[in-house]
Amino acid sequence: MAELSDIANEFIRQEIEEYLERPTEIERNIELFARVRPAMQDIAAALIEGEDDVVDRLTQQALADGIEALEIMDDGLIAGMGIVGIKFREAMIFVPEVLACARAMKAGMNYIEPILSDSGVEPIAKVLMGTVKGDLHDIGKNLCIMMLRGSGFEVVDLGVDTSDDDFIDAIEEHQPGIVGMSALLTTTMPNMGKAIEAFIDADVRDDVMVMVGGAPVTQDFADDMGADGYGKDALACVEVAKKLASA
């Protein structure tokens, strides 16, 4: 079993010590960061700090040093984002910090995405994501999309204020395995259930798995509307999508 002192990067050691509380998450992150090479720890640290220019530079450097794009994504960017997700869940950081980290992730992914799409890595599944009709909140949806893409899903982003017809047209056009819907307002939450009913009427419900999320959405609400999955945050979104993709 790895020890905290096995992690070369002092900032990462401090993050684990100061911010992680759940024993399973502490253990998992110690094992992870003790295993990854120091250059990847540095990328993760810069991402956690929201330093997009540093992530940009270190990602380019790592690629120039011959490190595989997949390794940089998994061991640097996603590993760092894992800690960000936990800190956000525990209200240790807030939206502006998460957005800075999201920008840093994007700075690295700008170099990684074209290489991965060229290298023939098969996407796990295709996911359509949209914020439902009447709702303009997209920060959470965009975080989910970023985490999904980072985890090997192909994602079609339908944006905000997505009508039932927009979803249905996109299902017919893109033939995704999974449709993800986001809602942040109690007034727009019911539009998720209405969209599912519209999928049934349009005879496309059986073609897709539906996952839902957004701050006011709960597992009970998801069950009541007949969704196949619910995730409370971007980490859970990836877990749910993986489950639905293999169902």
Interface residue with ligand B12 among 8, 63, 156, 185 (CB under 6 A) is 185
Listed residue (161, 162, 152, 163) closest to 120, CA to CA: 152
Sequence-ordered list of residues with C-beta below 8 angstroms from that of 190, at least 6 positions apart, any chain = none
- The strand ranges marked E within 56-194 are 126-131, 154-157, 178-182
13 vs 141 by CB, closer to ligand B12 = 141
Shortest distance (Å) from residue 245 CB to ligand B12: 13
Angle between helices 38-48 and 52-64 (to 10 degrees): 160
- Residue 93 is a binding residue for ligand B12 (CB under 6 A): no
Which region, judged by CB under 6 A, interacts with ligand B12, from 6-14, 31-39, 118-126, 139-147?
Answer: 139-147
Please, which residue, 5 or 246, has the CB nearer to ligand B12?
246
In angstroms, the CA 121 to CA 119 distance is 6
User: Which letter does DSSP use for residue 4 in this model?
Assistant: G
Calpha distance 41→35 (Å, rounded): 10
Q: How far is CA 144 from CA 9, 61, 68, 129, 241, in A?
A: 27, 27, 24, 9, 10
Q: What angle do CA 37, 40, 43 make, to 5 degrees?
A: 155
Q: How far is the CB of 179 from ligand B12 (least distance, A)?
A: 9
Task: Report the residue from 152, 209, 231, 244 that binds ligand B12 according to the rule CB under 6 A.
Answer: 231
Binding of ligand B12 by 234 (CB under 6 A): yes
Applying CB under 6 A, does 140 fall inside the site for ligand B12?
A: yes
Stretch that binds ligand B12, among 39-47, 114-122, 193-201, 214-222 (CB under 6 A): 214-222
Q: Does 138 participate in binding ligand B12 (rule CB under 6 A)?
A: yes
Q: How far apart are the first and last CA of the chain?
A: 33
Residues 2-61 binding ligand B12 (CB under 6 A) are none
Three-class SS of residue 211?
Answer: strand
Residues 6+ apart with CB under 8 A from 53: 107
CA 119 centroid distance within chain: 21
Least distance CB 176 / ligand B12 (angstroms): 12
**Identity of the residue, 69 or 128, whose beta carbon is nearer to ligand B12 in the bound complex:** 128
DSSP state of 132: B
Q: Is 75 in the site for ligand B12 (CB under 6 A)?
A: no
Instruction: Candidates 35, 95, 172, 201: give the one binding ligand B12 (CB under 6 A).
Output: 95
Query: Does 240 sit near ligand B12 (CB under 6 A)?
Result: yes
Which is closer to ligand B12, CB of 53 or CB of 94?
94
212 in contact with ligand B12 (CB under 6 A)? yes
Interface with ligand B12 by CB under 6 A: which residues?
95, 134-141, 143-144, 180-182, 184-187, 211-216, 231, 233-234, 237, 240
